[in-house]
Amino acid sequence: MKISEFISKKAANEMRIEIEEASGNEVFFRGIPDEKGIVSEFEVIARGNESSVAALLNMMRKNEVIIHNHPSGVLIPSDEDVNISSMYGEVGGASYIVNNDVNDICVVVPLREFIKIDIDDYFGENGVIHRNFGKFEVRREQYEMAKFIEKSMNENKKLIVEAGTGTGKTIAYLLPTLIYAIENNLKVVVSTNTINLQEQLINKDIPLLKKIIDEDFNYQIVKGRGNYLCKRKLYNLEVVDKETDTEDEKKEKNIIRNLIEWDRKVTKTGDRNELKYEISNSIWEKVNSEADMCKGVKCPYYSKCHFFNARKNISDATLLIVNHHMFFADLAIRNQTGFYTNYSILPNYDIVVFDEAHNIEDTARNYFTFETSKISFGRLMGNIYNRRVVKSSNGGALVRLLTYLNESLSSEEYKEVDELKEDVVEELNKFYDKGIDIFDKLTCLFSENNDNREIKMKIDKEKMQGSKFFREAMKLNSQFKENYGNLVIKINKFLNKVNNYNLEDKDGFLFEFSRYYERLKQYYKKFEFILEGKEEGYVYWANITTVRPNVKLYATPFDISDELNDNLFTKMDRMIFTSATLAVDNKFDYYKKSIGLIKEKHKKIDEKIVKSPFDYEKQMKVYIPEDALDPTNVEFMRDLEGFVEKAIKSTKGHCFLLFTSYSTLNFLYNRIKSRFSQKEYTLIRQNDFPRHEMIEIFKHSKNPILFGTDSFWEGVDVQGEQLKSVIITKLPFKVPNDPVTEAIIENIKRNGQNPFNDYQVPQAVIKFKQGIGRLIRSKSDSGNIIVLDNRIIKKMYGKKFLAALPRNRVVESKNEILKRMK
């Protein structure tokens, strides 16, 4: 066996030097194979044999080689070698042992050879689609995108591809990734941002693909654990009405009885979405499946568990559909336990497709944010001990545990427990009262001299020192810390006594109380982390709402590029990032930098822009009123209201108005709503209805006009005559005084860069492209885009926005534009 068949001469020489510098002791290398499978590059990942298997594996990517030397020159694998090799081999990695001179080799696990694919077998003139699916229109752009993805699969590379609206990108990425996965027995994860796209994949695209490929592969949509009913939690709740019950308690017990009936006679999945009626989150949280409340195989309901039944098929599936939030929840677990783990939400995967990939940065940042709030604190404390309803099982986990202990212990034993319980209850009440006092003081602090319904504010301790509310909150926090210490002592003493009895706890009453206690400790850690605000790399801020009085505290990382690069991008290469809006100035520099792909080493990331097949020059008319006031002018919207009214009436409604703030939306809505006859027009304002209902109303109403902000700039698909006009009121720059945006801007300044050009403009361009994309959704669609913000024609950076529009735009006065529209 020649070593040159596995490691290049240059790499072998350099490895020998590293081993010599380690005095001939054991050195572990990460071997990076070239296209022929020969290790041509490497890096040292450990010296000596003290590194754990998990630590070694966590430094490796998929489809690479762990190489280490045996100083003795005897290249027979040890038990530890076999352990490492088998674990890494399960996820597609190889393992070699070499001698100190790196001229002899033992291949413990060979580098896997992958079968390459050619999608021309399907898309070509004599391909499967042409022969068997005559009605299926293969678009040139779709084929072009699929070929690039085929290349990334065959060459084990990452690919960023912007695919214009109408490309048919779901089939373009599903076909090559699935064929490659089936041929090589791999697993694909497709991560999306919206439920709409998940439903399209499950109900339309994947069934069609099964017919095209003619392979019976398994696919599953992976839902979060909280969507499933937990039988143990459900059947532990008290459902018998008592005379002392309040009306709310009676209503809740009736709902629980209905859920029991649903579980026993109706549902086979336990999925909340199957319920024919709405159920409040506060009640669902009492009965849903939760990771830290799960007893696993020790649960009496394990064999019938809805959650585990749903998970059984996932490990066998070739294709998994998830949302971005779940993907990053899984990644956070891998960050703690190692990338190749059996403890994550998802099974180990080999290929990832991020659809709607422009949302990755915000989703990841939200997921790695620490959060606490007055409402969540009260709910957690109520789940442990609710002093308002202590006479029922709804009095919290402590009350249910005490009822169980009373039935399971002798009177003498229970008396000892009962005495300790009094101390626990006293400390719980003190802790709860002090916590609520702190949140109330913070509410006063942040809402001082501010009448807004929602306030977002950075927690700046230096600036807040002058406020008596801040000083009082900090004094209370010192007492809160003391209360917490006393509470921990009392609960530990109580649990130690109970645990000494070695109770069976079949129904999990002791287990559940212990889990809530762990949640309380984790909650307090987050609260202190945010309030102390010492960790660099985070912005600490508060959100206060007065409609439903609440204060939320956050610690948000303002740069997640390192996190994503270290914990995901360095672990695997077959990754596709796709969306209709990723490029700015026909480049992906901003996108790559924002999520950490710019830090990639060793392997080039392929990039491609696939233009839309739609003829925007013919299908879309663009109007920009040159005499509009500057959007910073307080009279900006008032000056345009007459123009907007006439522009909407020129298309008889059938219009989206996209705003960047609720205040501007409500101002214009209130100014012009009386000018539209309710018999002739249907006005739909965001927050008057749930988002999905707004879209349905728009699709099926007479002359609809939709007033929407942030979430309506993307993910909305209305084809045909029902949508004829999109009016963009302002360029969608993020609000600069938003605490997170402010922190990102400050961080960019600290790094010597220009936050406006390097962050705010690219962000806004991507959002702008999403908004423009709402209008033309098929080859037969046509309509108007009206941009009211004159900065697009008067500022230098406006060119970046204009590049997203067809060249035949009309830049004239409001009156001239209205004449043209007639």
Mean local confidence (pLDDT), 329-358: 87
Same-domain pairing of 523 and 667: no
Same-domain pairing of 654 and 751: yes
Burial 454-468 (b: 16+ CB within 10 A, else e): ebbbbbeeeebeeee
Same-domain pairing of 324 and 437: no
Same-domain pairing of 763 and 666: yes
Q: What is the pLDDT of residues 310-322, one digit of tens each?
A: 888 788 899 999 9
Same-domain pairing of 443 and 501: yes
Q: What pLDDT, on a 0 to 100 scale, did the predictor assign at position 335?
A: 82
Q: What pLDDT, on a 0 to 100 scale, did the predictor assign at position 340?
A: 81
Residue 93 sits in a domain whose CATH number is: 3.40.140.10
Mean local confidence (pLDDT), 33-41: 91
Q: What pLDDT, on a 0 to 100 scale, did the predictor assign at position 391?
A: 63
Report the domain count for the chain.
5
Same-domain pairing of 59 and 167: no
Asked if the structure places residue 615 within a domain, the reply is no
SS3 (DSSP) at 449: coil
Asked if the structure places residue 408 within a domain, the reply is yes
Nearest to 640 by CA among 630, 651, 655, 650: 630
CB neighbour list of residue 159: distance below 8 Å, 6 or more residues apart: 148, 149, 151, 152, 575, 576, 577, 605, 606, 607, 608
Residue 346 sits in a domain whose CATH number is: 3.40.50.300
Same-domain pairing of 552 and 587: no
Asked if the structure places residue 115 within a domain, the reply is no
Identify the band that residue 447 occupies on the pLDDT scale cut at 50, 70 and 90: confident
Asked if the structure places residue 547 within a domain, the reply is yes
Domain boundary among 295, 312, 329: 312
Half-sphere exposure of 477 (CA within 13 A, CB side): 18
Mean local confidence (pLDDT), 812-820: 94
Nearest to 17 by CA among 95, 102, 74: 102
392, 399 Cβ separation under 8 angstroms: yes
> Does position 602 have pLDDT exceeding 60, yes or no?
no
Task: Give the pair of three-digit tokens for residue 3.
Answer: 């070593």
By DSSP bridging, strand 704-708 and strand 655-658 are parallel
683, 669 Cβ separation under 8 angstroms: yes
Backbone torsions φ then ψ of 683, nearest 5 degrees: -95, 130
Same-domain pairing of 457 and 430: yes
Q: What pLDDT, on a 0 to 100 scale, did the predictor assign at position 486?
A: 96
Please give the helix or strand (H or E) that residue 577 lies within, else none.
Answer: strand 575-579
DSSP tag of 417: H
Q: What is the pLDDT of residues 382-430, one digit of tens each?
A: 999 988 776 665 788 999 999 999 999 999 999 989 889 999 999 999 9
Out of 330-344, 440-454, 663-677, the most confident range is: 663-677
Q: In angstroms, rounded to a whole number, what is the distance separating the alpha carbons of residues 591 and 654?
A: 33
SS3 (DSSP) at 610: strand
Domain boundary among 109, 141, 174: 109
Q: What pLDDT, on a 0 to 100 scale, did the predictor assign at position 123?
A: 83
Mean local confidence (pLDDT), 585-602: 85
SS3 (DSSP) at 541: strand
Q: What pLDDT, on a 0 to 100 scale, did the predictor assign at position 138?
A: 73
The pTM (predicted TM-score) of the whole model is: 0.88
Check the CA dihedral 38-44-47-51 and report its sign: negative
Asked if the structure places residue 92 within a domain, the reply is yes
Q: In angstroms, rounded to a whole number, what is the distance separating the alpha carbons of residues 296 and 96?
A: 38
Q: What pLDDT, on a 0 to 100 scale, did the predictor assign at position 390?
A: 63
Backbone torsions φ then ψ of 718, nearest 5 degrees: -125, 110
Give all strands (DSSP E) within 18-137, no chain letters. 27-33, 39-47, 65-69, 94-98, 105-109
Asked if the structure places residue 797 within a domain, the reply is yes
Same-domain pairing of 445 and 505: yes
Beta-carbon neighbour count of residue 253 at 10 Å?
Answer: 20
Of the ranges 64-68, 716-720, 759-763, 770-774, which one carries the lowest mean pLDDT score?
716-720
Q: What is the pLDDT of residues 513-542, one digit of tens each?
A: 999 999 999 999 999 999 999 999 999 999
Q: What is the pLDDT of residues 106-149, one digit of tens each?
A: 999 999 989 999 998 888 777 788 777 766 777 889 999 999 99
Q: In angstroms, rounded to a whole number, what is the distance separating the alpha carbons of residues 723 and 778?
A: 12
Q: What pLDDT, on a 0 to 100 scale, did the predictor assign at position 401?
A: 93
Please give the helix or strand (H or E) that residue 80 lies within, else none.
Answer: helix 79-90
42, 92 Cβ separation under 8 angstroms: no
Q: What pLDDT, on a 0 to 100 scale, did the predictor assign at position 344?
A: 80
521, 489 Cβ separation under 8 angstroms: no
Task: Give the pair of three-digit tokens for residue 347.
Answer: 């099974």
Q: What is the pLDDT of residues 750-800, one digit of tens each?
A: 989 999 999 999 999 999 999 999 999 999 999 999 999 999 999 999 999
Same-domain pairing of 269 and 295: yes
- Which domain, by its residues, includes 199? 120-222+314-365+561-610
Give one word for 783, left, alpha or beta, with left for phi > 0 and alpha for psi -120 to 50. left
How much of the chain exceeds pLDDT 90, in percent? 67
Same-domain pairing of 525 and 415: yes
Asked if the structure places residue 684 within a domain, the reply is yes
Q: In angstroms, rounded to a whole number, what is the distance separating the alpha carbons of residues 706 and 718?
A: 12
Same-domain pairing of 196 and 298: no
Q: What pLDDT, on a 0 to 100 scale, did the predictor assign at position 603?
A: 66
Average pLDDT over the chain reads 91
Nearest to 552 by CA among 573, 526, 571: 526
Asked if the structure places residue 689 within a domain, the reply is yes
